[in-house]
Amino acid sequence: MTITVLVPDEHGVAALAGIDGVRAVRYEPGALPDEAAEAEVLVPGFLTADKGSLVAGVPKLRLVQLLTAGAEAWVGTLPEHVMLSTCSGAHGGSTAEWVVAALLTMFRTMREFEDDRRTQTWQMQQTETLQGKRVLVIGSGDLGKQLKRRLDAFDAEVTMVANTAREGVRGVDELPELLPHHDVVALMVPMTPKTRHLANADFLSRMPDGAVLVNAARGPVVDTDALVRELSAGRIRAALDVTDPEPLPPGHPLWTAPGLLLTPHVAGSCTGVHARAYRVIAEQIAQFARGEEPSNLVRGDY
């Protein structure tokens, strides 16, 4: 028995070619091939707009396999019999790398030194260092684990946080106690109803003066208005790869907020992204083809 998988690009066709019992067929949004009538697995593109019509065009669909680790755009949108699986494990390293780059840029004042270069100013100054910084990593999945591994190499002191406490990991209910004692708070959580505005006004107020909030999760995990107030007061700093709203519209106060490093949702957008994503996807689909549940299966809000 052969399972037909619809993929959005040639990377997917090549990645799935060696899996027994799987036939990968490329599709174009809005112009599904004839094979869609028999397809059981759909791999949506990175930016899929019309989910409803796409899913409706695959009548025998049993699994939607995402290219992203985040599933919030798909949770609750599929028929009950259709499974949803993420690409967790593909983008954690790249995202963790972005966090480290952002922190080094801020602590070692790289932007300021670049400004001096433009004005041909030789101005030596002492900077902060990542060494010894107390970093609170909220989220202990692939992204959080990848970040801890990199921060350990820089001799930072890392505290991990998850929904529930376990050995070596603190519980999210301990955040009020933990926040005042950390120099950096890195958000590495999925977007769910529970994590929406996790970093609200009370959360931010508990961070010590001069601390850095890093959001490499999703924009709505942070209460934007509360963050703007803290940044405008100069009390804390932030590094954001995601915002709410997103894209950030012209004139939004985040564009001019002091103490902010901002990038346009590019933490995972780097060379090799397709190879890393399809390596995980191939494993998930191979499991499905063997009659197993994919290991990245989304359950509930995930």
**Catalytic residue set:** 218, 246, 265
Tell me, what DSSP letter sits at residue 171? E
Alpha helices in 154-200, H assignment, sequence order:
175-178
Tell me, what DSSP letter sits at residue 255? G
69, amino acid identity? A
Distance, in Å, from the CA atom of 232 to the CA atom of 62, rounded to the nearest integer, reads: 49
In our burial notation (b when 16+ CB lie closer than 10 A, e otherwise), range 139-153 reads bbbbbbebbbeebee
Task: Give the Cβ contact number of residue 125 at 10 Å.
Answer: 8
Contact 245, 272 (CB under 8 A): no
* Helix, strand, or coil (residue 196): coil
Contact 43, 25 (CB under 8 A): no
CA of 125: how far to CAs of 100, 109, 242, 259, in Å? 21, 9, 31, 18
HSE, CB side, 13 Å, CA atoms: give it for residue 36: 20
Per the document, the length of the chain is 302
CA of 123: how far to CAs of 48, 102, 118, in Å? 48, 22, 12
